[in-house]
Amino acid sequence: MTAKSLEDIVALCKRRGFIFQNAEIYGGLQGVYDYGPLGVELKNNLKAAWWRSNVYERDDILGLDTAILGHRKLFFYSGHEDTFSDLMVDCRACKHRWREDQLQDGKCEHCGSKDLTPPRAFNMMFKANIGPIEDAEHFVYLRPETAQGIFSNFKNILDSSSQKLPFGVAQIGKAFRNEITPRNFIFRVREFEQMELEYFVKPGEDEKWHSTWVELRFNWWKMQGLSEKNLKLFEQPQKELAHYAKKTVDILYRFPHGFEELEGIANRTDYDLGSHTRAQAEFNLSSKVKSNADSISKLAILDLETNKWWVPYVIEPSAGVDRGVLALLNEAYTEEKLADGKTRIVLKLKPALAPIKVAVIPLARNNEQIVGKAQQLRKMIQAWGLGRVSYEDTGNIGKSYRRHDEIGTPFCLTVDFETIGEDPQKTAHRDTVTVRDRDTLKQERIALSQLETYLREKLQK
Ligand code: GAP
């Protein structure tokens, strides 16, 4: 069962410390959110899962981390300065501003008036001044996609590592868009993170690789716990394609507000590498540098077998981290009726993604031996490197279970009198703990000597 509404998720995120409105104490910055102690763990786990499957588990993909501040020329020649715009309209009646394509029947969402200004293009890139002089010339863009950092480093990567086609470069990082109407919590925001992969292939093999990546990425999201019924593919119509794309297939997820894009897989052709190569020729000429083929960074690769230069085509799976977090929260949010008539809220996240893996709870907080053993156990499990382990000492075991159900902790371990050998009836239980499973609510006694193997196996899922 998924969440009832976006409000359920927003409330849980605030209550338990996943996500907060940015600068809330000053009324909040619209379209900007902060990740709390649990949100940062969930987000990091999602990014780590992506990095593992795209970089560590493959021989043909390298990682990269490029700057957020973007050279103006980079975003001029990428086409963003001219075309990265949405059409904006103003309501003459109430003065609210909207993105034209998001309005129903051409009516203002605030007051319902149809008296709107003609649409105007609004460039979504943020500018920032650079250096001590503040004028129209000295500015940079905050990158609207991480991809351009990969294209502009193409030659550096080739020169410093031997690659042949096909190969890819992966990057996770912040992107910024001055969205006209940020909405639906972290779904459409002005500052967000992307997990982007530029996979370089031989022209002619691009369509085959495009289909391969669509399938790989669709299956990857299923492996993170999103159910197939909540996912679907959507091929963007020609008129909606980004300026660089020949074909784009989106992976849509059923968010609380409906099916919307979670990730796009674009065939960017040789648009970017070609454009940045031509741009350098133009740049060298205009700055009167002696121009010849060698002074230009040819963003191409030499095929040693044929001795031919290829400007590779690029297949780009580009996923939003924040949209991924929202999809995972939505999918995992479950309300269950218990036998006693009460409702339990539980986040059924995959153990590998859960912010806290294990909570260690002492049954009696006044018993020094139990407390000591529980603290020692927390340290020991933390050292196994399975992820975050928490020590929970509220004095109310029911309350601790409820909190850990709501934040998706897969296992709660209780240290009790039997663990320390103080129950004369159950001396055989010395050095065992009870392990409570979040999803089945079953409790079993596990020997401390078996605990690492037990947890390691279960938490990998
Ligand atoms: N480099 C290609 C690119 O940026 P995109 O479809 O504009 O393509 C890729 O963005 C992904 O980034 C989207 O599928 C979405 O998950 C995420 N994204 C885009 N704009 C966003 C926004 N304003 N807020 C949150 N996520 C966003």
Q: Give SS3 for 65.
A: coil
Of 440, 163, 113, 105, give the one whose Cα is nearest residue 301. 163
Query: Domain 6-69+147-328 in CATH: superfamily?
Result: Bira Bifunctional Protein; Domain 2 (3.30.930.10)
Q: What pLDDT was estimated at residue 298?
A: 76
> Could you tell me where the beta strands, DSSP code E, fall in 213-370?
231-235, 247-255, 258-269, 301-303, 308-310, 313-320, 333-337, 343-347, 358-362
C-beta of 99 in contact with ligand 1 (< 6 A): no
Contacts of 194 (CB under 8 A, 6+ apart): 145, 146, 171, 172, 173, 174, 175, 318, 319, 320, 321
Beta bridge partners of 259: 254
Fold of domain 356-459: Rossmann fold (3.40.50)
If you search the block for the tokens 């020649």, which residue do you land on? 77
C-alpha distances out from residue 234 to 50, 254, 321, 402, Å = 22, 13, 19, 39
183 sits in the region (left: phi over 0; alpha: psi -120 to 50; else beta) called beta
The reply to whether the predicted model has a pTM over 0.85 is yes
- Amino acid sitting at position 240: E
The atom of ligand 1 lying closest to the CA of 179 is 23
Mutate to test the pocket of ligand 1, among 47, 75, 318 (most ligand atoms within 8 A of CB): 318
Long-range contacts of 296-304 (CB under 8 A, 24+ apart): 297/155, 298/155, 299/151, 299/154, 299/155, 299/273, 299/274, 300/273, 301/158, 301/163, 301/164, 301/165, 301/200, 303/164, 303/165, 304/164
C-beta of 86 in contact with ligand 1 (< 6 A): no
Strands 191-201 and 313-320: antiparallel
The atom of ligand 1 lying closest to the CA of 188 is 24
Structure-block tokens of residue 441: 């609510």
- Cα(150) to centroid of ligand 1, in Å? 16
**Could you tell me if 38 and 16 are in contact, meaning their C-beta atoms sit under 8 angstroms apart?**
yes
Beta bridge partners of 263: 251, 319
The atom of ligand 1 lying closest to the CA of 248 is 6
Length of the chain: 461
Beta bridge partners of 197: 170
Q: What pLDDT was estimated at residue 429?
A: 79
C-beta of 432 in contact with ligand 1 (< 6 A): no
Q: What pLDDT was estimated at residue 424?
A: 74
Domain boundaries, the chain: 6-69+147-328, 356-459
C-beta of 188 in contact with ligand 1 (< 6 A): yes
Of 300, 246, 247, 306, give the one whose Cα is nearest residue 275. 300
Q: b vs e for 173-183, b when ≥16 Cβ sit within 10 Å of the residue's Cβ?
A: bebbbbbbbbe
- Cα(449) to centroid of ligand 1, in Å? 47
Q: What pLDDT was estimated at residue 451?
A: 97
From first to last of its 461 residues, the chain has per-residue pLDDT tens of 445 799 999 999 999 999 999 999 999 999 999 999 999 999 999 999 999 999 999 999 999 999 999 999 999 999 999 999 889 999 999 999 999 988 999 999 999 999 999 999 999 999 999 999 888 889 999 999 999 999 999 999 999 998 889 999 999 999 999 999 999 999 999 999 999 999 999 999 999 999 999 999 999 999 999 999 999 999 999 999 999 999 999 999 999 999 999 999 999 999 999 999 888 777 665 654 444 444 456 788 888 888 888 899 999 999 999 999 999 999 999 999 988 899 999 999 999 999 999 999 999 889 999 999 999 999 999 999 999 999 998 889 999 999 999 999 999 999 999 898 877 777 777 899 999 999 999 999 999 999 999 999 999 87
If you search the block for the tokens 């230009």, which residue do you land on? 296
